[in-house]
Amino acid sequence: MSRPRLLAIGALVVLLVAALFVPRGGNDDDGSVAPAAGPKSSLRPGAVGRVTVSAADRAEIERVVAEGQALGRQLGAGVGRELSRGSTKGLSLLNRVVPAAVRCADLTGQRYCLGVGWTDRTEAQVQAATLAQARTAVRRSVSTTGTGDLDLVASLERSAALGPRTRATAERAELTEAARAVAKVWQLRHEIEGVPLPRSLRAASRTGATATPTTAVDPETKTPADYPQRFSILDKNQVAEQVRSYWCGPASMQMITWGWKKKDLGQAHWARKLGTTTSGSSISAMVKVVNDNTGWDKPAYAGPYIVLDIGKWSYDQWMLLVMRHVADYRAPLVLHPVLRKEYYPYLDDNASGHFQVGRGYDQRGARPDLVGYFEPWNQARFDPSEPPISRVQWRNAYKSYRANKAHYQHNIGV
């Protein structure tokens, strides 16, 4: 057989094999792909790993921890009881509780706020927004169905009840883990928002350098045109509805970890890991459990998951993040929307903040783009008179973006 003919046959084989891995199909046969390590294309932005915490960041962490101990001594379990009662005294106590619970650290040029995540808002702005939301919640002026996002008042009650030593230990651990992921924050700000990398943080994904406290990946910029028209990950059969009304967190974690471990450990297991109560689960706990119990946080995938404020992001930036996470990293997102009928037409009633598992997108040109996700909430389970909701969803991406921004924290786990 001639050499040209051999080369032609070899090229055909390569094309046929590659075709097996191209996502395809409609909403039922959604073309999901299993995780695979390593870069997927020459344009794939390089994920970064954890870094060593710098001396400056350690000093900043200790400053914030010490501040928390001083403020925490003014609080106690009695504060939590007043908040629960929704009393006038409880409302006035919020002026002490919020500054004690929500404080920020400036770590290598990025701001991290306890319980909120990485943000480009000032500490005063974050505290003011939290205080306004807490006052509304204490007054109970808004009645919604709770699905399992941690209730703000319950979160403040928990913080107020912490002793100084317990508070210091918890806050130091949260801030230290955040500092170790700061290169990921710079990478996202650079790639999605166009924020220039400081000279000290420019590095070399092109040379395969490992991120350190003074280096971060400087990847090639991608646009939506660089991505496949449609892409999804995770097995659409590895899904489950939440079995308790306040278990959207455990159910989402069940599906996220099922996709990695190929083993279903059940929602009760993840409720324990998340520290879920009848008041729900926090997004900080969701991100920590993903990092501690899967490999999605490896540099071959998404790098360390973080909680990121997307309050100032445009729809195009949000959608680019979804595409990047799914198609480049082959890793799920922890979506953090508010369940309202204006955003999700399958709802019978407005509901609370919520968690969903982001796992796909569909660019549809003249028609509205779609985002694919696993929906743990099934209202019919708790009220048979209401229509059932399917686990596998492909819905209007702009409405999902609006639902995420409507949450008072407007953050996401990536």
Same domain for 358 and 235: yes
The total domain count for the chain is: 2
What is the model's pTM? 0.84
For the stretch 244-293, pLDDT in tens is: 999 999 999 999 999 999 999 999 999 999 999 999 999 999 999 999 99
Q: Give, in degrees to the nearest 5, the angle at Cα 331 between 326 and 333.
A: 80
User: Where does the pLDDT of residue 162 fall: very low under 50, low under 70, confident under 90, or very high at 90 and above?
Assistant: confident
* CA–CA gap between residue 218 and residue 209 (Å, rounded): 10
DSSP 226: G
* CA–CA gap between residue 270 and residue 254 (Å, rounded): 7
Which residues constitute the domain of residue 300? 228-413
The token pair at 312 is: 């100032």
Same domain for 135 and 271: no
Instruction: Tell me the CATH number at 233.
Output: 3.90.70.10
Same domain for 87 and 233: no
Same domain for 251 and 117: no
Contact 320, 193 (CB under 8 A): no
Indicate the angle between helix axes 88-101 and 77-85, nearest 10 degrees: 130
**pLDDT score of 85:** 60
Final residue in a domain of this structure, among 150, 180, 210: 180
SS3 315: helix
Same domain for 233 and 161: no
Return the minimum-mean-pLDDT range out of 138-142, 348-352, 380-384.
138-142
Name the nearest CA neighbour of 100 among 114, 118, 120, 82.
114
Same domain for 257 and 372: yes
Flag whether pLDDT at 18 surpasses 90: no
Same domain for 237 and 171: no
Same domain for 395 and 262: yes
What's CA 128's distance to the chain center, in Å? 23
145 lies in some domain? yes
The token pair at 79 is: 């504060």
Same domain for 248 and 157: no
**pLDDT score of 7:** 41
292 lies in some domain? yes
205 lies in some domain? no
Same domain for 259 and 154: no
20 lies in some domain? no
* CA–CA gap between residue 286 and residue 306 (Å, rounded): 10
Same domain for 238 and 172: no
17 lies in some domain? no
Q: Phi/psi at 210 (nearest 5 deg)?
A: -90, 140
Same domain for 263 and 130: no
**pLDDT score of 403:** 98
**pLDDT score of 264:** 96
Name the nearest CA neighbour of 372 among 237, 233, 240.
233
* CA–CA gap between residue 231 and residue 140 (Å, rounded): 41
* CA–CA gap between residue 71 and residue 59 (Å, rounded): 19
Contact 380, 387 (CB under 8 A): yes
